[in-house]
A and B are shown apart, each in its own frame.
Chain A
């Protein structure tokens, strides 16, 4: 083993990035930590609270309810978007002029600003004016996302699937394209069924990109705010109040900065923890 070189000057080279990270991440985060352990009534007057806000948030039924809604929502959209994205990627053409056409169509939802997506679906799903709302009601199903929690959930999930499945498709498609033809040819010669080709060639080769897709979709959906805020505003009632919507209500609606800061940190730790669990589970086989 070579001896480690000690050169204090090396720190100078990482200094710029340390400063950058400090300004855009650490310092804002520390102000949140600061708020989370104190009580303030404005005018820069603070009273020490310790872990009081954390206890309050962790024991609050309101927080439990939005966390449960959040987990349910993320679970549902992952269960839909990942298999659907892979399925679409599998059916996309591998070469020819249609490749670009498909890719452009797939990329389109990703290019639309999030609040516009919310507004579009809001209008689209209106039970009296919107095409979707009219069509569903026309089929004899009672549908009104501004009044029925079930309809609100259905619309929110449908909107998210429409908005984000493309991301999974594009990543999965990139993974599929990287498989050399020889694999398919060998499988043909080995007499493999199309299921076996998927199970033993395509899925293993897509594993890395799918891991990224799942992580991205998990994190994004777990922090979803803009689209449901524009579509339902968290309602009807609290039925679509996910964690970040609740957080904004507490912080800006009620101006309870202490509990909001504590909740932010708990929220952040949950995302971090779940991402770590996802990543470790999916990469576990890789190490063997």
Chain B
């Protein structure tokens, strides 16, 4: 087991990539520490699966290198990388029994039948598949099949990392939760690095210690769920994580303080002078906006009840600002003003946080 590193790596599916948009993955260097639980989060088409396939060796990056510990594996094929991968749609060998499915990767590596038997039974017990070992794999339900795919990775004790490519897509909603907890539990038990690709923020935030957010082929932020929530490094992270997403408002800078619509916005993250021509914005999450006696004058457009709080849509001029009001809070009927929490108000230039 070892750390996985991608160094100055980028990838294009075209033969001669020229323009920036020809690159499916823009240049990046990412380290995955040994034993971590990572989620790779982003909308469809942002390059998550490409990145995963580069780690597993199904794809060779156009540029840059892939390292497992101190060994460079950029051109090493998947079967010699000690990687397991679980795909979006369950892959089982239909004609084999559950037992033979689990034994398959070990037998292919010429492991003695005694050891195969011991490992298969151990993993089957862990995945609660032991009762159906002699059944044909084709007859199992989708979640059973997905457990087999996972089991084929777990039986090998040399596995560096287990990669999941949206593994719960075809699983019934009530089983998703069960399987996800099982994954979390397995991660704590076996301690193998796990990288979990998903476009569902709930899946990502509940599974992972570290979430890698991707957008248009770029890794925009790597952080704990709390970091992503409180300090989104890119407006995309602000939008994509959290519900509702972050308010992003145009601003100007005057003497190091951001100005929105001619009013100074207090922030704990002051910004020095920025070069001309940049698109400057302030970002603040609805959780950190509240009604106040003074501040930015707004009118209330709509209130939606979301259980323990209400989502209030307000408007200042042409700008919409959402805020969360605790349940039972009296909303101002006229002359409403709002203020932003200075500790959670950040300035973004061309989308990137500069505070």
Which residue from chain B places its CB closest to the CB of A185 in the assembled complex? Answer: B58
Tell me the bound Cα distance from A182 to B91 in angstroms.
Answer: 7
A91 at the interface (CB under 8 A from B): no
Q: Is the pair B108, A188 in contact by a Cβ cutoff of 8 Å?
A: no
Count A-B pairs with CB separation below 8 Å: 55
Among the stretches A67-75, A143-151, A190-198, A221-229, the one at the interface with B is: A190-198
Q: State whether B83 touches A189 (Cβ < 8 A).
A: yes
Chain B positions within 8 Å of A10 at CB level: none
Residue pair A189, B93 in contact (C-beta under 8 Å) = no
CB < 8 Å: which of B78, B93, B104 contacts A185? B78
Kindly list chain B residues whose C-beta atoms are within 8 Å of the C-beta of A204: 93-95
User: Is the beta-carbon distance between B79 and A191 smaller than 8 angstroms?
Assistant: yes
Q: How far is the CA of A30 from the CA of B105 in the complex (A)?
A: 60
Assess whether A183 is interfacial by the CB under 8 Å rule.
Answer: yes
Residue of A nearest to B56 (CB): A189
Residues of A within 8 A of B199 (CB): none
Given contacts A182-B88, A183-B91, A204-B94, contact A188 B77 (CB under 8 A): yes
Q: Is B239 an interface residue (CB 8 A)?
A: no
- Chain A residue numbers with a CB within 8 Å of B95 are 200, 204, 285
For residue B147, CB closer than 8 A to chain A, the reply is: no
- Report whether B104 and A189 are in contact in the complex, using a CB–CB cutoff of 8 Å: no
| Contacts A188-B77, A288-B136 given; does A182 touch B89 at CB 8 Å | yes
A253 contacts B by Cβ under 8 Å: no
CA distance A200 to B78 in the complex (A): 19
Tell me which residues across on chain A come within 8 A of B53, comparing CB atoms: 185
Q: Which of B89, B108, B139 contacts A190 (CB 8 A)?
A: B108
Select from chain A the residue with minimum beta-carbon distance to B91. A186
Is A140 an interface residue when CB atoms closer than 8 A count as contact? no
B109 CB within 8 Å of chain A: yes
Flag whether A57 is at the interface (Cβ < 8 A): no
Q: How distant is the Cα of A204 from the Cα of B92 in the complex, in angstroms?
A: 11
Partner of A201, one of B58, B84, B87, B93: B93
Contacts of A193 in B (CB 8 A): 108
With contact pairs A185-B58, A186-B85 given, residues A196 and B78 touching in the complex (Cβ less than 8 Å) = no
Specify the chain A residue showing the minimal Cβ separation from B153.
A189
Cβ A200 vs Cβ B109 within 8 A: no
Complex Cα–Cα for A192 and B53 (A): 18
B55 to chain A minimum Cβ distance, whole angstroms, is 12
Determine if A191 and B108 form an interchain contact, defined as CB atoms under 8 angstroms apart. Answer: yes
Which chain A positions have C-beta within 8 A of B96? 200
Q: Given the complex of chains A and B, what is the CA–CA distance between A196 and B100 in angstroms?
A: 13
The answer, yes or no, to whether A113 is at the interface (CB within 8 Å) is: no
Bound: A189/B136 CA distance, A: 22
**Hey, what's the 0/1 contact readout for A41-68 against B, CB within 8 Å counting as 1?**
0000000000000000000000000000
A182/B109 in contact, CB under 8 A:
no
Closest to A205 in B: B94
B234 to chain A, nearest CB (A): 31
Known: A182-B89, A201-B93, A204-B94. A189 touches B108 (CB 8 A): no
Q: Does B152 contact A (CB under 8 A)?
A: yes
CB-CB under 8 A for A188 and B58, given A182-B88, A196-B108: yes
Cα–Cα distance between A234 and B149 once the two chains are bound (Å) = 57
Kindly list 6 other residue pairs between chains A and B, CB separation below 8 angstroms, not including A200-B95, A204-B93: A180-B91, A188-B79, A189-B78, A189-B105, A191-B109, A285-B95
21 pairs, CB–CB < 8 Å, chain A vs chain B? A180-B91, A182-B88, A182-B91, A185-B53, A185-B58, A186-B85, A188-B58, A188-B77, A189-B84, A189-B153, A190-B79, A190-B104, A191-B79, A191-B105, A191-B108, A192-B104, A192-B108, A193-B108, A200-B96, A205-B94, A288-B136
Interface residues of A (CB under 8 A from B): 180, 182-183, 185-186, 188-193, 196, 200-201, 204-205, 285, 288
